[in-house]
């Protein structure tokens, strides 16, 4: 798409417009009220409109002014890091903190270009022990510690 | 002298064994996390915040303030030794600090950073103690119209003084305000933007937003880079400065303290702006500017003093007006709300123990920084030798457990991951996340004051222009915007942020 001279600004504008539109559309059902007696829809709808306006300025300007391209690089770190967090969130309530810790550390470690399996395993066990000592016994967090079938 | 009586109250609170312990713990933990490469004060505070939930409010705030200074100083250590700024305000410290380290003067750079920070911290604490009460006095007379205009001015000033595109920054604020609305409307009881999800009825936790945008996104972006960095860890020795070196650095410390104190009060300033300005000033007035960037001691002393002074004075608008001037203070406001303290001018009169205790503990925190950092520098250096591939999974773990423990609910962890994606996208699109956090914290307050102001005026919008204080503040906001849009100044501003 060659008419976009400043992709960073253009897509930031698109993002703003999308958020603004979503805000306005969802707020359709909220009572607007008047300025003197504001309903719950007044402030959010106003913000949504400002958001759309700012997005339009950014995107339209990006067609005229040139800017650097977006550097995406590898998507591996994004997917692995956030994937490991989601695995942690799925595991923690049922399998407990210790298992969730080991899963999080081992999975997230693979995102580094210097990943070594043995090292990651050792580190996961050490951090699981630290979690047990600091969070479970030290700070006494009331979170499930062990898998449900052990307790 | 009222000031002395007040400081007396403060010392009475801050010097209790319990609070000294939490202050020390905060400084220690803050330095410990802050020294890790790529973690600035915002994720550090967000990560450690859950620890303070169980404490009494005064101790919690004292500990958080300690964490802030610790994180800030830890960031400078990393900047000097690894050339990896943990946050924007130590970018300038990298310039000459890292060069000093390469010349084998790492110990001296660290020592002057600590001494400069201490002098600046002492002066700035006195400034806070002297200026906070009269300012709070004025703020008590503010009605909803004044408050709304003040928030507009604060937010506009915050984006004008920050670097980057103005339109994007304002957009990020508005997005933050919108995110702040999520949850139950206090006036009608209506659930807004909660999509029928029970967990969203209380709104999104600010720790979730801060951790996702600053913590997770930072880790992901760091992992995308693969370049290798040289760490000067074996060469840290000779912390003692020669008298001549100290004399060389002292004027820079004094100038840095002054610049940092003033700029720290301004919205959006905080530590960052002061550090940049101090470096520029030092370079400009130096007899031989070519030494800068090659290990000039003034290039470390000035910005380091300025960023610590600014870190301290940025408490003034937060404590007296309840309006956070930067992302760190936004977190502090959030923390106060958790302890059901509504930040604002009334805190000083309704809760003098907390107010003065916090101020005095700022100074005690600074003393602890010096005591802690100079002898223990060896330990921090050891931490820097831990490779990033072992470090980031551990950081990720502490973030996850921290978020999970806030409400014993994994929903917050999923939400943080979502903000991580958003934060990563913002980095790619060059949208600064700090204004979003400011808007997020101020959102509910802003809506409430707007609503009240217009209710009192029966829907008449001119109330913002006819009430003098409100008009002056809105006028200032407009002038700031016009100035920044003017092409000549815009160019100068870009140059200023190019320095360093």
B89 pLDDT band (50/70/90 cuts)? low
Q: Which two tokens stand for residue B327?
A: 């992302």
Q: Contact A82/B461, CB-based, under 8 Å? A: no
Question: Do the domain assignments include residue B216?
Answer: yes
* pLDDT value at B499 more than 60: no
pLDDT tens track, chain A, 151 positions: 567 788 888 999 999 999 999 999 998 888 888 888 888 888 999 999 999 999 999 999 888 877 788 877 788 889 999 999 999 999 988 898 899 999 999 999 988 888 888 888 988 988 888 888 888 887 777 778 888 877 6
Q: Is the CB of residue A111 less than 8 Å away from at least one CB of chain B?
A: yes
A109/B164 Cα distance (integer angstroms) = 33
CB-based contact (8 Å) between B394 and chain A?
A: yes
Q: Is residue B457 part of a domain?
A: no
Q: Does B53 touch chain A (CB under 8 A)?
A: no
d(CA B21, CA B23): 5
Q: What angle do CA B118, B344, A43 make, to 5 degrees?
A: 125
Question: Which residue from A34, A105, A143 is facing B393, i.e. has the nearest CB?
Answer: A105
CA distance A76 to chain B (A): 8
Chain B contacts of A61, Cβ < 8 Å? 167
Contacts of B428 in chain A (CB under 8 A): 8, 70-72
B117 neighbors B70 (Cβ within 8 angstroms): no
Any chain B CB within 8 A of the CB of A57? yes
Give the residue-averaged pLDDT of B35-61: 82
Chain A, nearest residue to B431 by Cα: A12
Q: What is the pLDDT confidence band of residue B465, given thresholds at 50, 70 and 90?
A: confident
* Tokens representing residue A5 in the block: 């001279």
Assess if residue B276 is contained within a domain: yes
Predicted-assembly ipTM surpassing the 0.90 threshold: yes
DSSP structural state of residue A70: P
Residue whose token pair is 């942690």: A88
3-state secondary structure B317-379: HHHHHCCCCCHHHHHHHHHHHHCCCCCCCHHHHHCHHHHHHHHHHHHHHHHHHHHHHHHHHHH
Can you tell me the distance from the alpha carbon of A140 to that of A135, in angstroms, rounded to the nearest whole number? 6
The answer to whether residue B463 scores a pLDDT higher than 80 is yes
Is the model's pLDDT at B269 over the cut of 60?
no
User: Which pLDDT tens digit goes with each residue over B298-318?
Assistant: 888 888 888 888 888 888 888
pLDDT of residue B500: 42
Q: Is B500 contained in some domain?
A: no
Q: Domains in chain B: how many in total?
A: 1
Distance from CA of B428 to the nearest CA of A (A): 6
In-domain check, residue B451:
no
B184 sits in which H/E element: strand B183-184
Q: Which residue range(s) make up the domain with B312?
A: 2-141+202-435
Q: Is B81 exposed, middle or buried (0-12, 13-18, 19+ CB in 10 A)?
A: buried
User: Which of A16, A51, A89 best tests the B interface by mutation, with the highest count of B CBs <10 A?
Assistant: A89
For B8-24, write each residue's pLDDT tens digit: 888 888 888 888 999 99
Report pLDDT digits (tens) over B150-194. Answer: 888 888 877 776 667 888 889 999 999 999 999 888 888 888 888
Of A54, A93, A135, the CB nearest to B174: A54
Task: Say yes or no: A133 contacts chain B, CB-CB below 8 A.
Answer: no
Residue B227's pLDDT is 60
**Chain A interface includes B178 (CB < 8 A):** yes
Which of the residues B389, B419, B432, B460 would you substitute to probe the A interface, choosing the one with the greatest number of A C-beta atoms within 10 Å?
B389
Residue A13 forms beta bridges with which residues? none
Alpha-carbon A54 to chain mean position: 23
pLDDT the model gives residue B238: 66
CA B225 – CA B183 distance, rounded (Å): 38
Average pLDDT of the segment spanning B411-417? 93
pLDDT for A55? 94
DSSP string, B120-179: HHHHHHHHHHHHHHHHHHHHTT--HHHHHHHHHHHHHHHHHHSSS-HHHHHHHHHHHHHH
Nearest chain A residue to B164, by CA: A9
* Cβ of residue B155 closer than 8 Å to a chain A Cβ: no
Query: Please, how many CA atoms are within 13 Å of residue B160, restricted to the half-sphere of its CB?
Result: 21
Report the pLDDT value the prediction gives residue B334, as an integer from 0 to 100. 85
End-to-end CA distance of chain B: 43
Which residue in A34, A40, A109 is closest to B459 by CB distance? A34
Does the beta-carbon distance from A127 to B451 stay under 8 Å? no
Least confident of B84-88, B312-316, B387-391: B84-88
Side-chain-facing half-sphere of B5: CA atoms under 13 Å: 4
* B421/A12 Cβ within 8 A: no
Do residues B358 and B128 lie in contact, with contact meaning Cβ atoms separated by under 8 Å?
no
- B390:A119 CB<8 A: yes
Q: In this predicted structure, what is the pLDDT of residue B172?
A: 92
- B425/A16 Cβ within 8 A: no
B397 touches chain A (CB under 8 A): yes
Query: Does residue B152 lie within any of the structural domains?
Result: no
What pLDDT does residue B462 have?
A: 86
Which of the 8 DSSP states describes residue B193?
A: S
List of chain B residues whose C-beta atoms are within 8 Å of the C-beta of residue A135: 401, 405
Percent of chain B with pLDDT over 70: 90
Cross-chain residue pair B224–A74, CB shorter than 8 Å: yes
Contact flag A19-B420 (C-beta cutoff 8 Å): no
Closest partner residue to B178 among A19, A141, A142, by Cβ?
Answer: A19
Tokens 């060389």 correspond to B248
> B25: closest CA among B57, B53, B51?
B51
């Amino acid at each position: 798409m060659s008419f976009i001279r400043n992709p960073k600004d253009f897509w930031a504008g698109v993002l703003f417009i999308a958020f603004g539109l979503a805000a306005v559309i969802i707020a359709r059902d909220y009572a607007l009220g008047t300025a003197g007696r504001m309903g719950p829809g007044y402030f959010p709808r106003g913000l949504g409109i400002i958001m759309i306006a700012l997005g339009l300025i950014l995107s339209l300007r990006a067609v005229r002014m040139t800017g650097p391209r977006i550097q995406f690089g590898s998507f591996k770190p994004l997917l692995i890091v956030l994937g490991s967090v989601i695995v942690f969130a799925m595991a923690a309530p049922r399998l407990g903190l210790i298992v969730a810790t080991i899963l999080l550390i081992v999975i997230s470690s693979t995102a580094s270009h210097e990943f070594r399996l043995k090292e990651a395993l050792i580190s996961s066990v050490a951090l699981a022990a630290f979690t047990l000592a600091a969070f479970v016994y030290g700070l006494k967090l009331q979170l499930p510690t062990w898998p449900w079938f052990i307790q | 002298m009222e000031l002395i009586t007040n400081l007396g109250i403060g010392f009475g609170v801050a010097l209790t064994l319990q609070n000294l312990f939490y202050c020390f713990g905060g400084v220690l933990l803050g330095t410990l996390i802050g020294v890790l490469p790529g973690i600035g004060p915002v994720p550090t505070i967000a990560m450690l915040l859950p620890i303070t939930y169980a404490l009494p409010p005064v101790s919690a705030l004292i500990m958080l303030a300690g964490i802030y200074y610790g994180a800030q100083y830890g960031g400078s250590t990393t900047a000097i030794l690894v050339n990896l700024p943990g946050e924007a305000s130590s970018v300038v410290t990298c310039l000459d600090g890292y060069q000093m380290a390469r010349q084998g003067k790492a110990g001296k750079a660290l020592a002057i950073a600590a001494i400069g920070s201490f002098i600046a911290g002492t002066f700035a604490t006195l400034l806070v103690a002297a200026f906070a009460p009269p300012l709070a006095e004025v703020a008590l007379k503010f009605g909803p119209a004044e408050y709304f205009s003040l928030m507009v001015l604060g937010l506009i000033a915050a984006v004008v003084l920050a670097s980057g595109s103005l339109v994007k920054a304002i957009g990020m604020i508005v997005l933050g305000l919108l995110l702040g609305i999520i949850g139950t409307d206090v006036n009608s009881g209506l659930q807004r933007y909660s999509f029928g999800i029970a967990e969203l009825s209380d709104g999104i936790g600010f720790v979730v937003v801060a951790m996702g945008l600053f913590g997770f996104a930072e880790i992901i972006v760091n992992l995308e880079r693969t370049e290798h960095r040289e760490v000067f860890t074996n060469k840290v020795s000779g912390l003692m400065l020669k008298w001549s070196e100290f004399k060389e650095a002292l004027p820079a410390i004094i100038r840095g303290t002054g610049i940092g104190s003033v700029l720290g009060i301004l919205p959006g300033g905080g530590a960052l702006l002061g550090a940049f300005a101090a470096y520029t000033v030092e370079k400009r007035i130096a007899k031989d500017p070519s030494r800068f960037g090659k290990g000039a001691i003034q290039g470390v002393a000035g910005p380091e003093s300025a960023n610590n002074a600014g870190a301290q004075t940025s408490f003034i608008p937060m404590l007296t007006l309840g309006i956070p001037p930067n992302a760190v203070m936004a977190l502090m406001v959030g923390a106060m709300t958790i302890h059901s303290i509504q930040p604002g001018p009334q805190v000083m009169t309704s809760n003098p123990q907390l107010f003065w205790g916090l101020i005095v503990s700022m100074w005690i925190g600074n003393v602890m920084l010096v005591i802690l950092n100079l002898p223990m520098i060896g330990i921090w250096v050891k931490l820097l030798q831990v490779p990033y591939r072992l470090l980031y999974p551990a950081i990720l773990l502490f973030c996850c457990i921290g978020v999970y423990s806030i409400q014993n609910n994994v929903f917050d962890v999923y939400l943080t991951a979502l903000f991580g994606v958003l934060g990563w996208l913002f980095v790619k699109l060059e949208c600064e996340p700090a204004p979003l956090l400011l808007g997020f914290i101020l959102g509910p307050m802003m809506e409430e004051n707007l609503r009240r102001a217009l209710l009192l005026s029966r829907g008449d919008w001119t109330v913002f222009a006819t009430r003098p204080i409100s008009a002056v503040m809105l006028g200032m906001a407009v002038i700031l915007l016009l100035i920044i849009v003017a092409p000549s100044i815009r160019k100068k501003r870009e140059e200023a942020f190019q320095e360093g």
